[in-house]
C-alpha cells in the first residue's frame, strides 16, 4: 500500500499546484492592480533633466584589431556550455537510480544496461536547459528529439564497445538496442514530462515551485497522520483514546499544525536564500523538477519492489542531495567564458493592458537580455507571471505586499540604492521591478531612464488614450540619446501621433508583428546596438 499512497501523494500535490498556482497569480495581480490605483500622500516630483550623456567617440580602426567575440557569439557559446553542464549533472544524478533499476530488476550488470535508465532521464536536461537559456518551444522540442535519438545511438555504440570484454564480437543485431532505449523512454518519460510541463508552464513558473514545495510538505500531514492513527489504534489504550477523543482524524490533527509551521518556515528560508542570491529563479525551478523526477522514479520502484523501500528511499535521497551542489558548480564553470560583455542595464517600457503581448515580449527579448545585464521596469499585472519571485510571494502571503510599492521619496531612493546589478550564480541578471502608485510612477520612471544604458519601448497598441506613454516619450527625448532607445511598433500603433509626440527625437523604430521570429531577432540585435554591445548598423 505504501507505493500507492506515495503515488497519490505526489499526484495530488502536482494537481493541486496546477489549481492553486493560477489562483495565487490571479490574487497577486489583483493586489498589484489595487496598489497601482491607490493615491496616498503627495505626488512625487521627478528630478530636473540633466544634460544628455555624450555619444561615445567613434572607434579608430587599427591595423590588427584584437579577436574579441561579439556579444551574440558569446551568448551562443554560453548557451551551449550551459546545456552540456545541465546534461552532465542530470546524467550523473540519474546513475544511482539506474544502478538501482538494474539491481532490483535483476538485469545484467553491464555498462550498457546501467546506461539505459540514466540515458533516458538525461534527455530531461533539454527542458531544464531551456529555462536557463530561453529557447523557444519549437527549438527546444527539436533539440529534445535530437538528444533522444543521439542517446539511443550512443547506447548502441556502448553495447558494441563492451562486447569484446565479454568474449564476443560486436554484431549488427545490437542496433536493436536503440529500439529498446526508445521503448524504455516511452515508458519512463511521459509522467515526468507531464509534471515538468504542468509545473513549468510560463504562466505559473514564478510561483509553481514554491506552491509545490509547500503542498508537498503540508501533504505529509494526512499521509503520516494516517500511519500514526493506524499505529495508535493498534493498541488497546491508543484505540480507546482515539475513539473517545479526536476520532480517526487524530493523526492529522496532531500533525497539521507542526507540518504547516514547517512549510511556512521552509518558504521563508527559500525567500531569504533567494534574496541573498544563493540561487536564481531558474535554479529553484530545476531543483523542483528534479525532485519530481526522482519522486516518480522512486514511486515506480516501490510499486514494483515493495520489499525494497529503504534502498529506494536512500538512493532517491542521494540523487536529490547531489543535484544542487553539482548543478551550482557546473553552471559556474559553464558561464565562466572569456569575452563576456560589460553589463548594460535595459529599461523596458510598454503599453499596459495586453497580457499576451507583454509576456511574449518578456519571453523573447527580456529573458534573453538577462545574460547581458540587469533589467528594470515598472510592475503591472500584465507581466507579474514572469517577474514574481520568492520574495514577492512571501510578502504577498503575509499580506505585506504594500511594502513593495514606492510611496515616498525615501522609498524610491531606497529601492534605487538596492538595485540588483550583479549576476546570479547561473550567470543571468535579475529583473528589478518597481511597484508604483499613481502618485509615484512618473518620478520612478524618470529615475530609471536616467540609469538605463538602453531603453526598449513597446508601442504596439499606442493611441490617444495612452497619456502615460506620451509622458515617457517626452522624458526619453530629454534624458536619452536617440540611439539608446528602440521603439517597437506594428499596425496597431498610431504612427502619426507618435511622430508628433517624438518631436526632434528620432530613435530607431522596428516593426514587430506577433509570432515573427525574424523580427524578434532583429529587435534583439538592435537592442545590443543601443547598449553599445554590437557594431552600429542601419536603423530599421
pLDDT of residue 380: 85
Q: What end-to-end distance do the CA atoms of the chain give, in Å? A: 65
**Which DSSP helix (H) or strand (E) runs through 457?**
strand 454-458
Q: What is the pLDDT of residue 263?
A: 73
CA dihedral 488, 72, 283, 214 (to 10 degrees): 10
At residue 205 the predicted structure's pLDDT band, cuts being 50, 70 and 90, is: confident
Find the helix packing angle between 137-162 and 176-188, rounded to 10°: 130
pLDDT of residue 343: 93
pLDDT of residue 61: 43
Sorting pLDDT into bands at 50, 70 and 90, what band is 270? confident
Q: H/E/C letters for each residue in 101-115?
A: HHHHCCCCCCHHHHH
Residue pair 352/382 in contact (Cβ under 8 Å)? The answer is: yes
More confident residue, 47 or 496: 496
Backbone angles phi, psi at 328, to 5 degrees: -60, -45
What does the buried/exposed string (b/e) look like for 184-220 if buried means 16 or more CB atoms within 10 Å of the residue's CB? bbeebbebbeebbebbbeeebbbbbbbbbbbbbbbbb
**Overall average pLDDT of the 392-416 stretch:** 84
Q: What is the mean predicted confidence (pLDDT) over 188-206?
A: 80
Q: Would the pLDDT of 237 be above 80?
A: no
Statement: residue 182 has pLDDT above 50:
yes
Predicted pLDDT of residue 5: 66
The SS3 of residue 486 is strand
Gap between the Cα atoms of 386 and 208, Å rounded: 12
Helical residues (DSSP H) of 219-354, grouped into ranges: 220-233, 236-244, 250-275, 281-304, 309-335
Predicted TM-score (pTM) of the model is 0.84
Dihedral pair phi/psi, residue 423, rounded to 5°: -75, 155
Which of residues 204 and 508 earns the better pLDDT score? Answer: 508
Options 1.20.120, 3.40.50, 2.60.40, 3.30.1360; which CATH number does 341-530 get?
A: 3.40.50
The residue among 258 and 335 whose pLDDT is bigger is: 335
Q: Quick one: which of 293, 263, 286 has its CA closest to 424?
A: 286
Which of 57-61, 290-294, 505-509 holds the top average pLDDT?
290-294
Average pLDDT over residues 21-27: 85
Residue 371, all three cell numbers: 545574460
Q: What is the mean pLDDT of residues 194-211?
A: 77
Mean pLDDT of the 276-295 span? 90
At 111 the three-state DSSP class reads: helix
Q: Please indicate whether residue 260 or residue 22 has the higher confidence score (pLDDT).
A: 22
CA distances 467 to 222, 278, 322, 443, 498, Å, are 54, 41, 53, 15, 12
Distance CA 382, CA 351 (A): 10
Kindly report, residue by residue over 432-487, the tens digit of the pLDDT.
999 888 888 899 999 999 999 999 999 998 888 777 888 898 888 888 888 999 99
Q: Average pLDDT, stretch 55-79? A: 63
d(CA 259, CA 252): 10
Which has more pLDDT, 89 or 521? 89
Q: If you average pLDDT over residues 133-141, what whole number do you get? A: 86
In this prediction, what percent of the chain has a pLDDT beyond 90? 36
pLDDT at 268 over 80: yes
Distance between CA atoms of 449 and 425, rounded to whole angstroms?
Answer: 27
φ, ψ of residue 406 to 5 degrees: the values are -85, 115
Name the DSSP letter for residue 483: G
Q: Which range, 42-46, 215-219, 253-257, 367-371, has the best average confidence (pLDDT)?
A: 367-371
Q: What is the mean pLDDT of residues 115-136?
A: 92
* Residue 534 in this model has a pLDDT that exceeds 80: no
Residues 233-238 have a mean pLDDT of 60
| Confidence check: pLDDT of 248 > 70 | no
pLDDT band at 30, cuts 50/70/90?
A: confident
Give the pLDDT of residue 323.
97
Q: Which of 369, 365, 372, 334 is nearest to 350 (CA)?
A: 365
Q: Return the minimum-mean-pLDDT range out of 99-113, 202-216, 250-264, 474-488.
A: 250-264
The confidence band for 371, taking pLDDT boundaries of 50, 70 and 90, is very high
Grid cell in block for residue 494: 498610431
Query: Does the structure show a pLDDT above 50 at 537?
Result: no
Contact 302, 309 (CB under 8 A): yes
Residues 6+ positions from 228 with CB-CB distance below 8 Å: 250, 251, 254, 255
Length of the chain measured in residues: 540
Residues 536 and 540: their CA atoms lie apart, in Å, by: 12
pLDDT of residue 151: 96
Residues 465/357, Cβ–Cβ less than 8 Å: no
Of 54-63, 360-369, 460-469, least confident by mean pLDDT is 54-63
Find the mean pLDDT for residues 373-395: 84
Every domain of the chain with CATH number 3.40.50 lies at 341-530
Rounded Cα distance, 183 and 173, in Å? 17
So what's the pLDDT on residue 444?
A: 93
Confidence of residue 390 (pLDDT cuts 50, 70, 90): confident
Residue of 23, 394, 12 whose CA lies nearest to 220 = 12
Amino acid at each position: 500500500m505504501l507505493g500507492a499512497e506515495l503515488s497519490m501523494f505526489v499526484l495530488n500535490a502536482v494537481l493541486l499546484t496546477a489549481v492553486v498556482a493560477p489562483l495565487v497569480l490571479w490574487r497577486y495581480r489583483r493586489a498589484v492592480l489595487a496598489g497601482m490605483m491607490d493615491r496616498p500622500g503627495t505626488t512625487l516630483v521627478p528630478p530636473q533633466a540633466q544634460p544628455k550623456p555624450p555619444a561615445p567617440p567613434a572607434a579608430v580602426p587599427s591595423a590588427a584589431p584584437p579577436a574579441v567575440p561579439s556579444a551574440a557569439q558569446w551568448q551562443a557559446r554560453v548557451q551551449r556550455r550551459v546545456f552540456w553542464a545541465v546534461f552532465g549533472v542530470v546524467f550523473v544524478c540519474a546513475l544511482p537510480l539506474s544502478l538501482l533499476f538494474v539491481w532490483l530488476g535483476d538485469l545484467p550488470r553491464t555498462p550498457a544496461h546501467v546506461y539505459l535508465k540514466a540515458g533516458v532521464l538525461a534527455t530531461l536536461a533539454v527542458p531544464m536547459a531551456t529555462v536557463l537559456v530561453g529557447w523557444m518551444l519549437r527549438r527546444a522540442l527539436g533539440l529534445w528529439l535530437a538528444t533522444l535519438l543521439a542517446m539511443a545511438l550512443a547506447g548502441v555504440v556502448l553495447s558494441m564497445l563492451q562486447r569484446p570484454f565479454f568474449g564476443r564480437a560486436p554484431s549488427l543485431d545490437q542496433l536493436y538496442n536503440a529500439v529498446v532505449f526508445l521503448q524504455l523512454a516511452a515508458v519512463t518519460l511521459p509522467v515526468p514530462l507531464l509534471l515538468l510541463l504542468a509545473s513549468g508552464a510560463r504562466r505559473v513558473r514564478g510561483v509553481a515551485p514554491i506552491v509545490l514545495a509547500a503542498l508537498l510538505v503540508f501533504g505529509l500531514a494526512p499521509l503520516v497522520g494516517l500511519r500514526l492513527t493506524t499505529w495508535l489504534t493498534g493498541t488497546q489504550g491508543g484505540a480507546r483514546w482515539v475513539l473517545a477523543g479526536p476520532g480517526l482524524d487524530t493523526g492529522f490533527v496532531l500533525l497539521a499544525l507542526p507540518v504547516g509551521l514547517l512549510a511556512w518556515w521552509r518558504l521563508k528560508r527559500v525567500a531569504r536564500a533567494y534574496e541573498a542570491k544563493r540561487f536564481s529563479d531558474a535554479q529553484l525551478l530545476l531543483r523542483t523538477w528534479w525532485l519530481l523526477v526522482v519522486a516518480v522514479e522512486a514511486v515506480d520502484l516501490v510499486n514494483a519492489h515493495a520489499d525494497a523501500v529503504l534502498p529506494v528511499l536512500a538512493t532517491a535521497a542521494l540523487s536529490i542531495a547531489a543535484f544542487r551542489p553539482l548543478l551550482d558548480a557546473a553552471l559556474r564553470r559553464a558561464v565562466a567564458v572569456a569575452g563576456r560583455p560589460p553589463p548594460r542595464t535595459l529599461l523596458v517600457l510598454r503599453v499596459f493592458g495586453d497580457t499576451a503581448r507583454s509576456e511574449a515580449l518578456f519571453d523573447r527579448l527580456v529573458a534573453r537580455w538577462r545574460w547581458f545585464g540587469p533589467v528594470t521596469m515598472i510592475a503591472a499585472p500584465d507581466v507579474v507571471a514572469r517577474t514574481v519571485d520568492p520574495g514577492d510571494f512571501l510578502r504577498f502571503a503575509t499580506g505585506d505586499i504594500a511594502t513593495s510599492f514606492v510611496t515616498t521619496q525615501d522609498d524610491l531612493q531606497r529601492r534605487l540604492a538596492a538595485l540588483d546589478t550583479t549576476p546570479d550564480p547561473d550567470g543571468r541578471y535579475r529583473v528589478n521591478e518597481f511597484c508604483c502608485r499613481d502618485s509615484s510612477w512618473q518620478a520612478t520612471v524618470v529615475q530609471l531612464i536616467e540609469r538605463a544604458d538602453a531603453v526598449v519601448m513597446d508601442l504596439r497598441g499606442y493611441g490617444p488614450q495612452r497619456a502615460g506613454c506620451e509622458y515617457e516619450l517626452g522624458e526619453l527625448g530629454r534624458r536619452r540619446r536617440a540611439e539608446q532607445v528602440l521603439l517597437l511598433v506594428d499596425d496597431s500603433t498610431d504612427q502619426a501621433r507618435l511622430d508628433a509626440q517624438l518631436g526632434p527625437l528620432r530613435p530607431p523604430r522596428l516593426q514587430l508583428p506577433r509570432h515573427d521570429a525574424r523580427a524578434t531577432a532583429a529587435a534583439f540585435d538592435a537592442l545590443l546596438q543601443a547598449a553599445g554591445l554590437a557594431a552600429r548598423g542601419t536603423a530599421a
